[in-house]
Structure 1
Amino acid sequence: MIGRESQLEQLSALIEAAREGRGSSALVYGEAGIGKSSLVSAVVDAASSSGFQVLSCYGVRGTGAVGFEGLHELLLPLLNRMDTLSPRQQAALNVAFGGEGEPADRLITGLAAFGLLEEAAAKGPLVVLVEDLHWLDLSTADIVTFLAARMSVMPALLLATSRADRIYPDRSPRFKHHVPLTPLTQEDALRLIAQYSPELTVPQQHRLAERAMGNPLALTEWSTNPSWFEGASSVERSRVPMGKRLEDSFLAEVALLPQATRYALLVAAAGQDCSSHEVLAAARNLGLDQSDFAPSESFGLITLSGGTFRFRHPLVGSAVYDNADSDARSRVHTELAAVVVDAARAVQHRAAAVTGWNEEVAVELEELAVAAGRRGARTEAAAAWRRAVALTPVPTVRARRTVMAAEAARQAGATADAIALLAEAKPSADDEASVVQFARTEWMLASTSTTLPDRGGDELIALSRALSNPDDRVEVLTWAAVRSYTRQDFSAEITAAVTDELRRPDLVVTERQRLLQSIGLVLLGSADQITSVDKALSIFQQQVRETDATLLNCLAFAFEDAHHLADAERVWSAEVDMFHRLARTSDETVALAGRSTVRMNANAIAAGLADGEQALRLSFDLDLSVVGALCAANIARARAWRGEHELARAALDTSTELSGLIPFARVASIASWASAQIAANEGRPEDAVDHLLRSVEHPPIGLWAGGDLADAAVRADRPEAVARWLDMATAALVSSNSDHLTMLVERTRALLSPTGDARGHFELAIKHGERSTAVLDLAKTRLFFGEWLRRERHIVEARGHLSAALHVFESHHTTPLAQRTARELGAAGGIQPTQSPQAADVSTMLTAQELHIAQLVAQGYSNKQVADQLYLSHRTVGAHLYNAYAKLKINRRSQLAVALAATLG
């Protein structure tokens, strides 16, 4: 460990912290030969000898045919504990490892792996070693980075090594600690040479140190080769990258071996994903013998260990393979394909043996891509599709496979790759199935990314007219309507054209087609109604397609636009349940965010906050920044209602950060509403009006936000600011029977009315409010009416409304409004009711996640069921529950319902 004392000390400290229960993760990175493996081996050996259990997996160049091979290697010693996981997590791992079932999002697979590590760590401290992360199959690498961010809750250290080359993905952000290894100093290099090759003279040691440039592998490998420490330095050679110089030095050693041994080394290098039995079988088919490997073992270039051939350093294998001619590599891969037991790896070797087009192998790769997708290894699926494309001779088939590669890349989250593949496929994709899949992938990418411009409404209309399948035609027209709605871009010409196309009598026949037609027309502003939420949901639930998540979102938006918040919530809830059951976590997260918005609009603050907190956490795991921005804005709104201004502002900062330079209109509108509530609470009505006016610019949110405008505008002496919203809301009521919206309109009219006219509007507002579920807006209406009544000297009547409002505000922990109401009630001579301290404080005593877990447990869910519901491990659920018990001063599950009575309502 010469020259690595500080790094060794840092990692040793992390081991000791893990022993004490403070887990962590560390990434050791640097160039090839810089000493990464030596450093982590020293740390892991010391940990193992002091009682740590060690789990490990190794990345190998060229492996990873169907994904999760590394994860299987890592978790193999723990698979006998699978029954400790929740059923969905068990199923996710089974499918990932080749079992039958629906593939799960990587989040669920990652949680399953995390759960098994927690089980292992419960029996004693743990080291998880991942060598050569850059060569690990990508699906496993994703899981490793997922785990790296979560190790703090267990007595364990996840320790990974990786090269720092730019050609490999940068996975460092998820690791808590970074340990870069740089070249040794001149002093340390000379110390290493003196220890390793004391026979060299001082001038030779200095020349070697100069040429090795502080690379420990070069210092030790070159110390036995006089060409590296004798004679003048070659300027040309010094310009060659260190990795290439090391490979050349290994090739010089290989060149000294017999020709048959060099050929045997090529078989081992090409078959690094193979067992020694498979390598030897392929070698025999090539006319070689096991004895041909012996000279390379004597040279120390390769060893036989654990049933596999391992090279002294990965650079030996890459040097041997890259230096071989293409014909030799092809012959070796052909023989490996013939003897490899695993069908997926055999296909990979057959593909590596092919030069030029080969439809037979392309078909096998297509089957491999489908198999990888079924396991949830979507990155590997995309790679198999792309390799199949390269071997496909027929242009139309090649285009179809390119489109499928783009869709697999989209599902894997590789947006840039998916966009590039679509561009590649576009000139040749002319059969209808490929055209539709192309358009579908393009549309879904454009829905979640700002890097791909979507098709205009006129282009979608033209595409629809060119299709023969009515299902596809109506779906494309629905996309056009969705595009107009989400962008709030209702061009009169496009709106009329899409409406005309959707109304064509020959277009819709089936129930699904009629439903999509209704969604499209409602989103375009038509007076058409979606008559039954139950019927609509049953149609979607008969067969859940890949694009149905977005179409279901649009169904919810259609109900929101018709001001039917309860029906919209039912759609979002159905999506949450459906996609949870199908393990489509990204779609479930979007649905949670949508439900959070509707619940907040409908005054269900606690439920909306719980959805928002859960979806925000998941959005970070799934890289759904737009969804996270929406959730953070909703959280800010809930916190502002409660007067938790510091938390509200922090949530607004998160929303701004996740929104990027151009926030979505929906997100910006909700954030403005939250800012208005903060301003109103702090007695800044002018600012509140300005924020609300910005919110009103996005009608789907602004229609509800504008209900707060009149109170702020009157206080700011700007009643004229309400006119635009009042016109918009009044027009909306022409086609709506929403009691909630009617209450807001009548309340606004009351606040703006001359003294004599206000009572009638207030009483009508309360009448409609009592028929709605908007308890907080109803309480606000009673507050405003109570204030008016007190000013008009109707004191007794005022007390009744103020007392009712205060009870609601206190029970929902909306402190600023409760304080305002209590002051008004006191001025009216009323007695202020109070709640029990525990009921009033329980939502602030617990974190949002503790509260959510405690509520589910109080409803009868087991820890494993809660883990499935909230995407946590069951031990994490137990830890949160233990903390909740301590804060609530209880010790049994049966006591939770009473302790949480106020929040469960």
Structure 2
Amino acid sequence: MSGLLDGARQGRGGAALVEGEPGIGKSALLEEATRDAAQNGFQVLTAQGVRGASEVGFSGLHALLLPVLDRLSALPDRQRRAIETVFGTADGQPPEPLILQIAVLSLVEEAAATAPVLLTVEDLHWVDPSSAEAIAFLAPRLGAVGAALLATARTDQALAAAAFDTRVLLRPLCAEDAHRLVTERRPDATAAQRDRIVHESVGNPLALTELSVSTTPVLAARPARRLPMTRRLEQTFLADVTALDDRTRRALLVAAAGEDAGPGELSAALARSGLSPADLTPAERAGLGRLGSGFAFRHPLVSSSVYDSADAETRRAAHRALADVVRDEGRAAQHLAAATVGWDDDVAARLDESARRADARGARTEASAAWEAAAALTEAPGVAARRLAAAAETARQAGDVERALALSRRARPSAVDEATVLQLETTEWMLSQTVVVPDARSADGLVDVAVSMSDPEARLELLVFAAVRWYILQDAAPVAERIGDELARSATPDQALREIGLGLVQPGRGLDVDTALEAFRGPLRPVDGILLNCLAFAAEEARDLVAAERVWTAAEHAYHAAGRTGDEATALCGRASVRLLLGDVTGGMADASQAMHLSDQMGLGIVGAMAAAVVARARALRGEYDLHRELVTAAELRGGVPLFARVSATLSWARGIAAAGEGRDLDAVAEIEQTAANAPIALWAGADLAEPALRSGRPEAVSDWIAAAEAEADRSGSDHLRMLVLRSRALLADGPDAEGLFEQALAHASSADASVDVARTHLLYGEWLRRSRRILRAREHLRESVPVFRGQGLEPLLARASAELRAAGESDSAADCRDAASVLTPQELQISRLAATGLSNKAIADQVYLSHRTVGAHLHRAFAKLGISRRTQLPVVLENR
């Protein structure tokens, strides 16, 4: 613990979780660390988990941050609003978890800027899930902050435990230390009594203490079997409780059932039960707790022994009394639910309303739990299904994939109204876009559900879902025909949505992207995220990459403004893939790296896998083959088994590029042929097939791709595709035919909007011209390629073009210059570009989901790498490099 505090004092913070069974000494260790920190100038922020209080979202986080909320004004606007919204001090849309978590980190950084901070969380396993999630996010991210986080939890019971790099398991005392403690606590005990206490306590300090001082005959007889330590301690405390009078025991039960109640609420609940706070005085004298602002039990096991030993009806009476007086509607509803047996629509309605309020504040885990509890108390199966559907969707939004899927599957058999069916299908469809969903409904299955709908809008949405499913999985052609036929028959005023679906399954149709984008100009609906992505996919299917980038950019801006970070990750990933095709390798790599960052924070496995695959392809293009292999592995780990076809094909393409760059031409051909798993990827990847196929003596491997790509170029009118087809034909051609094909390819270059592919065409033509001893013309084309390759950091192609120029008798005057993309990490480059536009660190922080102090640290490193000292130098140095 001292090492943790020393590190925080020096600006190298960290987090530790102290685990162990009840009574093992976790609280004592926390108290000692708190005392040490306070004496050494630390700001100490504390939160305490309370059994039964986990239904109130963000209550633990509010208690932890309350002393530093006066620093909120120092945060970027969006981060400040996120904290204010979840704490109920401002109205607004509930923030995405990632935005809130970064805001919490920023606030801790602000507090640590003036003095080191110790955050303590006792009984983390009882902290509400929304707060625990924020604490889990904080734990591994304090390495560059002057703050330490110390939490306690029962062994393997804290959901957030895995986030702590340091986990300290407290073990029982050895026999010698146990005997010493018993002697201190009970010096008059005989040797036999001491041995018995040590034997029964199994080294647990609390058990040793309690059994040493207990006045009840709990050791009179040896039990037939040894009970778990928790139960033995509860029995020890229960023996003390049993010795109290009936009124005091009943008052203790009300206090145990309402540990989260304030003093006024506890007093009122006691009065409702015919009791008063004075009835707790005997319990205080017995050392079971302290009467003050409420009743503070000496140890959580005292509370649990009181509550668990009471009969069910007595417990329900205590909860009824609390439900009548607790002021918070959500907590009151939970107490009322605990007092209810069987179906009760009135109580279910109160839980439903409680869930809505929690959802409005962003406490989605608690909202989901409340909706599930409401469903359990609902008599009508259809209404119960609707509430389970709401629970499933909020669980999905909270990132609890397994629970969301389980709730959805529970609701399905009872779902009778179309709104509930649509919600369930939407939830599972959205889950399937980011993670592998077992037994996910097929595109054909989605059509079956769609045609059963009487509501034309619901039918249309499901048909578009089916179209996207078909497009991503590249399902059988008859399925696409069925989807297209149903879409064509759909009678709906939402023509933009209908056109999106048709654009995916009938790519030969025209697609008016700008008109379709108009449908998304207003505030985004929940489903609009999917539909914008569909529009981008439809533009890609039409081979209009410029339009696709425009849609992905519009989507990214809309999602960012709405705080929808999961959707933003998807849009960044989509734009990254398109930008690579357009030749913006550095921009695409920055987008994909940011998508990986967001996906990892939110557990979006499939999006993270696709983003890693795109970065792997960029690294291969740049000749960074070791990094490329690391990213291939990262994509495979994130994507699960089996990989989505789009991810698998992108990885095959990346491996093919790397193999060709390393001279493994047969491997390159085999990998690029594997991209056939996803036809849209294979269409563009085939352009990288001709060179390794020729070098390995397999020119026939290119013919199928040329035929397919030529047909697609004719269908779509894509100049980019035509250029790639003609370039490949030129490489395969003999003698003078090659020149004409190269010239035809470059004739399409001005309309191709693909700088790297155009530059590669110039390079290949220049190489052919030099080999044909037409040196002057060769130089012209080689010169065209060099700046593009250097600007994108494509070292293998740059080295090849520079060598050709030298062979043609011309040196590369800028050969020693290194572009910014080659010296900065993708995140440093992204932040530097934003800073070059004049944005402040706070504004950049809102853009890239970091704290503004972390943004400053990235800029400091970037300045050193670029050899500059001022922000005003960034535009020039980034432009020149």
> What letter matches 2:101 in structure 1?
G
Correspondence 1:414 to 2:396: no
Matches within 5 A, 1:460-539: 460-492=446-478, 494-504=479-489, 507-510=490-493, 512=494, 514-531=495-512, 533-539=513-519
The aligned runs of 1:656-675 (5 Å cut-off) are 656-675=636-655
Quick one: which amino acid aligns to residue 509 of structure 1? T
Cα deviation, 1:842-863, whole Å, max 9, x if unaligned, reads: 3333322222111111111111
| Alpha carbons of structure 1 residues 456 and 889: separation in structure 2 relative to 1, 3 Å | closer
2:617 to 633, 637, 646: 637
Which secondary structure state, in structure 1, belongs to the residue aligned with residue 19 of structure 2?
strand
Matches within 5 A, 1:246-265: 246-265=233-252
Query: Root-mean-square deviation (CA), in Å?
Result: 1.7
Asked if 2 retains the 8 angstrom alpha-carbon contact of 1:592 and 1:611, the reply is yes
CA contact (8 A) 1:63 1:137 kept: yes
- Cα deviation for residue 355 of structure 1 reads 1.8
In structure 1, C-alpha distance between the alignment counterparts of 2:367 and 2:27, rounded to whole Å:
31
Deviation at 1:809, TM superposition (A): 1.5
The aligned runs of 1:11-160 (5 Å cut-off) are 11-98=1-88, 99-160=90-151
Contact 1:480–1:498 (CA<8 Å) still a contact in 2? yes
Identity %: 47
Deviation for aligned residue 1:232 = 5.7
Q: Quick one: which amino acid aligns to residue 502 of structure 2? A: L
Shift of 1:44: 1.8
Residue 762 (str. 1) matches residue 745 (str. 2): no
1: CA distance, partners of 2:592 / 2:131 = 29
Distance in 1, matches of 2:670 and 2:217, equals 74
Matches within 5 A, 1:539-618: 539-542=519-522, 544-618=524-598
Secondary structure of the 1:856 match is helix
Matches within 5 A, 1:795-806: 795-806=775-786
Shift in Å, 1:689: 1.4
2:854 matched to which residue of 1? 876
**Does the CA-based 8 Å contact 1:419-1:452 persist in structure 2?**
no
Q: Which residue of 1 aligns with 2:160?
A: 171
Rounded to whole Å, the distance in 2 between the matches of 1:470 and 1:625 is 33
2:285 to 298, 315, 318: 298
Are the aligned partners of 1:508 and 1:517 in contact in 2 as well (CA < 8 Å)? no
Structure 2 CA distance, aligned partners of 1:439 and 1:635? 32
Letter paired with 1:131: E
Report the alpha carbon displacement of residue 249 of structure 1 after superposing the two structures with TM: 1.2
Q: Distance in 2 between matches of 1:695 and 1:191?
A: 71
Deviates more, 1:626-635 or 1:533-542: 533-542
Could you tell me how far 1:583 is from its partner in structure 2? 0.8
Q: Give the counterpart letter for 2:615 in structure 1.
A: I
CA distance in 1, matches of 2:856, 2:291: 45
Cα distance in structure 2, aligned partners of 1:301 and 1:461 = 63
Task: Say whether residues 1:685 and 2:676 are aligned partners.
Answer: no
Distance 1:193 1:851 in 2: 63
User: Where does residue 180 of structure 1 map in the other structure?
Assistant: 169
Q: Is the partner of 1:354 in helix, strand or coil?
A: coil
Is the contact between residue 573 and residue 591 of structure 1 (CA under 8 Å) also seen in structure 2? yes
Contact map agreement 2:97 2:398 (CA 8 A) in 1: no
Aligned residue type for 2:234: E
Mapped to 2, the partners of 1:595 and 1:603 lie a distance apart of 12
1:863-892 Cα deviation digits (max 9, x unpaired):
111000000011111122222223333222
Contact 2:356 2:367 in 1 (8 A): yes
Question: What are the within-5 Å matches in structure 2 for residues 782-801 of structure 1?
Answer: 782-801=762-781
CA distance in 2, matches of 1:360, 1:234: 46
- 1:747 match: 727
Counterparts of 1:25 and 1:456 in 2: how far apart (Å)? 44
The letter of the residue matching 1:171 is A
Q: Cα offset for 1:629?
A: 1.2
Looking at structure 2, the residues matched to 860 and 772 of structure 1 have their Cα atoms a distance apart, in angstroms, of 32
Post-superposition CA distance 1:778-831 (Å, at most 9, x none): 111111111111121211111111122123222322111111112122222223
Give the 3 Å change call, closer, same or farther, for CA 894–835 of structure 1 in structure 2.
farther
Which amino acid in structure 1 is aligned with residue 102 of structure 2? L
Q: Which moved more, 1:168-177 or 1:289-298?
A: 168-177
Q: State the alpha-carbon separation in 1 of the partners of residues 414 and 654 from structure 2.
A: 49
Cα deviations by residue, 1:669-706 (Å, 9 ceiling, x for unpaired): 22222222222222222222122111244221121111
Q: Is the Cα contact below 8 Å between 1:825 and 1:832 reproduced in 2? A: yes
Conserved in 1, the CA contact under 8 Å of 2:218 and 2:239? no
Q: Cα distance, 1:252 vs. partner?
A: 0.6
Alpha-carbon contact 2:388-2:411 (below 8 Å) kept: yes
- What is the distance in 2 between the residues matched to 1:407 and 1:14? 40
Structure 1 CA distance, aligned partners of 2:751 and 2:451?
Answer: 46
Provide the C-alpha distance between the structure 1 equivalents of 2:184 and 2:875, rounded to a whole number of angstroms: 69
- Out of 337, 349, 353, the position equivalent to 1:363 is 349
Q: Partners of 2:249 and 2:93 in 1: how far apart?
A: 45
The list of structure 1 runs, each at least 4 consecutive aligned residues, that deviate by more than 6 angstroms after superposition, is: 226-229
Give SS of 2:689's match: helix
SS at match of 2:64: helix
Alignment of 1:156-305 (within 5 A): 156-165=147-156, 168-225=157-214, 233-236=222-225, 238=226, 240-305=227-292
Secondary structure of the structure 1 residue equivalent to 2:716 = coil
- Which of 360, 365, 380 is matched with 1:394 structurally? 380
What is the rounded CA distance, in whole Å, between the counterparts of 1:735 and 1:335 in structure 2? 73
Measured after TM superposition, the shift of residue 290 of structure 1 is: 2.2
- Cα deviation for residue 100 of structure 1 reads 1.1
- For structure 1, which runs of at least 5 residues remain unmatched after alignment? 1-10
Q: State the distance in 1 between where 2:324 and 2:880 align.
A: 68
CA 534–525 in structure 1, closer or farther in 2 if over 3 Å, else same: closer
Which amino acid letter does the alignment assign opposite residue 195 of structure 2? H
How far off is 1:743 after superposition?
1.0
Structure 2 portions without partners, runs of 5+: none
- Taking the aligned partners of 1:200 and 1:769, their CA distance within structure 2 comes to 96
1:816 partner SS:
helix
Q: Deviations over 1:561-604 (max 9, x none)?
A: 11111111111111111111111111111111111111111110
Q: CA deviation at 1:228?
A: 7.2
Q: SS of the residue aligned with 2:233? A: helix
The match for 1:439 among 401, 425, 437 is: 425
Alpha carbons 1:811, 1:902 under 8 Å: kept: no
Matched pairs, number: 880
Spell out, residue by residue over 1:22-44, the C-alpha distance to the aligned partner (whole angstroms, 9 max, x if none): 11011111222221111121122
Partner Cα distance (2:657, 2:594) in 1: 23
CA contact (8 A) 2:769 2:778 kept: yes
Q: 1:540 & 1:477 partners in 2: Cα distance?
A: 19
- The amino acid that maps onto 2:825 is T
Q: CA deviation at 1:227?
A: 6.7
Provide the C-alpha distance between the structure 2 equivalents of 1:205 and 1:541, rounded to a whole number of angstroms: 77
Q: State the TM-score, normalized to the length of structure 1.
A: 0.95
User: Equivalents in 1 of 2:815, 2:91: separation in Å?
Assistant: 54
Between 480-489 and 100-109, the greater mean CA deviation after superposition:
480-489
Change beyond 3 A, Cα 1:697–1:395 = closer
Structure 1 letter corresponding to 2:832: A
